[in-house]
Amino acid sequence: MKEIRSICVFCASSQSAGEAFRLAATDLGRRMGRKGINLIYGGASIGLMGCVARGVHETGGKVVGVLPEFFKVKDIEYGEADELIVTRDMRERKAVMDQRSDAFIVLPGGIGTLEEAMEILSMKQLRLTRKPLVFVNTNNFYDPLIAHMREMVDLKFTKRETLELFATRPDAESALDYVLHYEPSAAPGKWL
């Protein structure tokens, strides 16, 4: 596995997330900064996105925000980003985030976070990427999603090996440890 220099973090932009989620995002950012790992993320200053970016900067790390053009008018970008890339749309944004990242960490979030994570999981299943993907399961946030994925396996909508294409960890420290020691395995073929 190549050296991890940049990690894409998918997470909530919601300002309503509870304190435990904000602390976990800040902790991840601080740990990344201390290890000299660049943050690639959605470019916002609000919600968990802002927490992780500020955490990276607090410990001397580099922050690269990738923001679609239509979000610029909402005035939510993280102005302190070391680099802010403005894309035409969400699809270009995700492509840039993928290209600039060596791994993916998914903190709790809403529909956008889930959609981004599922696209990476689908790419792994189709053997289009071998980069590590890990969900940080703060306060068991992702338990229902993992249970649903297991049900998809039980009902034969996906192969059991699909569950090995990602990891779930309880906190930032163990998620980073997973990413930094990741060894890719052969992805299962898509169809049964």
pLDDT of residue 188: 57
6-180 CATH, one of 1.10.579.10, 1.20.1440.130, 3.40.50.450, 3.40.50.40: 3.40.50.450
Q: What is the pLDDT of residue 70?
A: 85
Confidence grade of residue 192 (pLDDT, cut at 50, 70, 90): very low
Confidence of residue 189 (pLDDT cuts 50, 70, 90): low
C-beta of residue 124 within 8 angstroms of C-beta of residue 166: yes
Q: What is the mean pLDDT of residues 112-141?
A: 96
Q: How confident is the model at residue 49 (pLDDT cuts 50, 70, 90)?
A: very high
Question: Residue 74: its pLDDT value, please?
Answer: 72
Query: Do the Cβ atoms of 70 and 46 come closer than 8 Å?
Result: no
65-121: per-residue pLDDT in tens? 999 988 876 778 999 999 999 999 999 999 999 999 999 999 999 999 999 999 999
User: Using an 8 Å Cβ cutoff, are 98 and 132 in contact?
Assistant: no
pTM of model > 0.85: yes
Cβ(44)–Cβ(76) below 8 Å:
yes
33 φ, ψ to 5°? Answer: -60, -45
Average of per-residue pLDDT across 53-58: 98
pLDDT digits (tens, 9 = 90+) for 137-176: 999 999 999 999 999 999 999 999 999 999 999 999 999 9
Asked if pLDDT for residue 190 goes beyond 70, the answer is: no
pLDDT tens, 17-44? 999 999 999 999 999 999 999 999 999 9
